[in-house]
Amino acid sequence: MSFCVKCGAEGPTYRSLCESCFLQGKVFTTLPDHVDVFQCGHCEDYLLDGKWLSIETREEVAEKATELALQISKDAEPLHVTLHGERIDEANYHVGMTIAMSVEGLDVNEARTTIVRFKNTSCPRCNKLMGNYYEGTLQIRTRDRKMPEDLREEIIERVDKMMQEHTRDNRELFISKVNRLTTTHGGVDVVLSSSAVGKNIAHELADQYAAEVKETAKLVTQKQGKDLYRVTFLVRLPAYRFGDIVRHDGKLHLVGALRANSTKITNLKTSQSLMVSNSDMTSAKVVGRREDILDAVVVAETDREVQVMHPASFKVFDLRKPPKFQRKGDTVKVFQLDEEFYLLPLQG
């Protein structure tokens, strides 16, 4: 039989004391009488535990801040925490909490309250944005032609999506400015907060559009003993796009998949596909855009020919099938150059 060394009571003891004597005067949790939370007045994110977070309601922020401010004794094992935030006014919230713990196998509950005070500030990211901070610029241009507006907007959308992927892990990254150019050949300049991300995006665009990338750096200042460079990435798109018709080595080809170093093209006469290095494709001349390609209704088909109807003139004519030609559905893709029509292969 165990006895409490303090009061002499018989029964289970905890460090030689009965439950009552063991817990008497002991406090296992502490909470400040007020907790300050900073909110950026521009992006409205909150600073919690050293991180800027986007949280929908101040009540939720107040409860999270209170839980972060709670300190629990190393002798206690927390089991469950219940929080309840209540608005006092726009800048102040009252938060009550109950903490269920296990201490030496005993169930212990303590209640704490605090006032969460919201204060306005400006986060580092917004400070950089308002200061027009940037480290990298993407200059996206086309070779030997004016950049179509739909291509320009497509590229801007791609850059924006790629930037969103990067900002998931680092909110300090952002697009500082987008300049749409309308003079000469046109194009777009995208100004970025990070040259490292700019390099990554430039080479992703090169892989998607068979573009070439040229990089130039300019030393602008020193920060904490380190050189700070601003880097420009010139992304030069080829004259052709996916789905265009080009003349290469004197023959007509359909442009297929684009890669950083090569382009897939398919001969319109033979249906033979090959990968050509982008350096060898610089002399390729675009003779038709993908928007020039027609959808012609199939009227009849034999082993060697397909009879189609022109979608505008409704003229019916025969086209010889290239080797291994296959079609899906009731229409085929047709391209007209001068007075000659070409049956296009399926792209894959």
What is the per-residue pLDDT across 158-207, written as a single tens digit (0 to 9) for each?
A: 999 999 999 888 888 999 999 998 776 789 999 999 999 999 999 999 98
| pLDDT over threshold 80, residue 264 | yes
Q: How far apart are CA 32 and CA 34, in angstroms?
A: 5
* Percent of the residues in the chain that have a pLDDT greater than 90, as a whole number: 47
Instruction: Give the chain's radius of gyration (CA, Å).
Output: 34
Please state, in angstroms and rounded to a whole number, the distance separating the CA atoms of residues 246 and 267.
10
Give the C-alpha separation, 110 to 18, whole Å.
19
Average pLDDT over every residue of 296-325:
87
Query: Which tokens is 205 given?
Result: 């665009």
pLDDT at residue 347 above 70? no
In this prediction the pTM is 0.70
Confidence of residue 331 (pLDDT cuts 50, 70, 90): confident
Query: Which pair of structure tokens corresponds to residue 287?
Result: 């003779």
Separation of alpha carbons 11 and 18, rounded Å: 7
Q: How much is the pLDDT for 229?
A: 81
